[in-house]
Amino acid sequence: MARGNTRQRIQDVALELFAEQGYEKTSLREIAERLDVTKAALYYHFKTKEDILIGLFHDLTRPMDELIEWAKAQPRSLETRQEVLRRYQAALLDAAPLFRFMQENQATVRELSVGLTFKERMIELTGLVKEPDFAMVDQVRCISAIFTLHAGAFFMQNVEGDPEDKQDAVLEVALDLLAQAHDA
C-alpha cells in the first residue's frame, strides 16, 4: 500500500484536525483512527505529539524565514518593501490553513520549544517594511499593510466577490498604505 508517504499523511491529517479543533483537543487516537493505523504507529514517525506540531510549524515558517532573509539582503527601499508585501501575500494564500492554524492556536504555539516564535517573526517582518524614524502614523500604516494582507487571507472569505478580485484589492490597499507611509 501507500508507503513512505506515511509521515506526510500524518502531518496532513494532523493539520486538518488541529485546525478544526485546536491542537490540545486533538488526540493522537483521533489522528491514528482517521489514518486507520494505531497510535503506536505514529510514534514510529514522530517522537512526540509536539513533534508533529513542530513539523507543521517549520513548514509554515520556512517560507517566512526565506522571505525575511531575502528582504534583509535587499536595499531598504520602497521597491523591496512592495515586493515583500507581494511575496508575503503569496505565501499567505499558499499556506492559508497553516497560517490560520498558527493564528488560532497562538496560545499553544507560543510555548513551543522551537527557535523564534510566530510573533517574533511578525516583528521582524514588520520591521522590514518600515523605518524606526518614520512618523508614528506612517509606522502604523506599514504595520497595517501587513495586517491587511492577513485580513485578506483569513477574513475576506466572508465578503462577497470574486476571490481573485478580492486579493487584488487587498494587495492594492496594502501597497497604497505603504506608499502613503513613504510619501510623507
Partner DNA sequence: CATGAATGAGGGTTCATTCAT
Partner DNA sequence: AATGAATGAACCCTCATTCAT
Rule CB under 8 A: which residues touch its own copies?
19-25, 101, 103-108, 111, 119, 122-123, 126, 132, 135-137, 139-141, 143-144, 147-148, 150-152, 155-156, 158-161, 165-166, 168-170, 172-173, 177
Q: How far is the CB of 162 from its own copies (least distance, A)?
A: 9
Q: Which stretch binds DNA (CB under 7 A): 33-41, 56-64, 80-88, 122-130?
A: 33-41
Distance CA 131, CA 115 (A): 25
Q: What number of chain residues touch DNA (CB under 7 A)? A: 20
Distance of CA 68 to the CA centre of its chain: 13
Q: At what angle do helices 96-104 and 136-154 cross, to 10 degrees?
A: 110
Nearest CB to DNA, comparing residues 40 and 136: 40
Distance CA 99, CA 101 (A): 5
Q: How far is the CB of 23 from DNA (least distance, A)?
A: 8
Name which of 100, 104, 81 is nearest 92 in CA terms: 100
Residue in this structure with the C-alpha cell 508585501, named with its chain if needed: 85
Interacting partner of 157 out of its own copies, DNA, none (Cβ under 5 to 8 A depending on kind): none
Q: Does 122 bind DNA (CB under 7 A)?
A: no
Q: Radius of gyration of the chain from Cα atoms?
A: 19
Q: Does 45 bind DNA (CB under 7 A)?
A: yes
Helix (H/G/I), strand (E/B), else coil: 26: coil
Distance CA 55, CA 151 (A): 25
- What is the binding site for DNA (CB under 7 A)? 3-4, 6, 26-30, 37-41, 43-45, 47-50
